[in-house]
């Protein structure tokens, strides 16, 4: 798995997760429990991880959806 993006915005996370699942790309949201434990201060962003061999496709999907600014550099 490779990191695609990080965010504290649950709407963006949910949207990206749906985009990846619709494309048949394996996706996992990491650090969900840590984010919940630390409360709502937003210190620990959640990470979206995708299959390593499909990272380029996932990045194109994000770009096409207008979310290129969310991508991990």
Beta-carbon-side half-sphere exposure of residue 2 (alpha carbons within 13 Å) = 14
Per residue of the chain (73 residues), give pLDDT as tens: 999 999 988 899 999 999 999 999 999 998 876 655 555 566 678 899 999 999 999 999 999 999 999 998 6
Q: What is the CA radius of gyration of the chain?
A: 12
Residues 6+ away with beta carbon under 8 Å from 20: 4, 26, 27, 48, 50, 58, 61
């Amino acid at each position: 798995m490779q990191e695609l993006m990080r965010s504290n915005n649950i709407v963006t996370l949910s949207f990206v997760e749906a985009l990846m699942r619709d494309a048949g790309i394996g996706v996992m949201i990491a650090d969900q429990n840590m984010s919940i434990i630390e409360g709502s201060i937003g210190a620990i962003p959640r990470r979206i991880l995708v299959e390593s061999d499909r990272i380029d496709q996932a990045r194109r999907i994000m770009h096409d959806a207008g979310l290129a600014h969310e991508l991990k550099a």
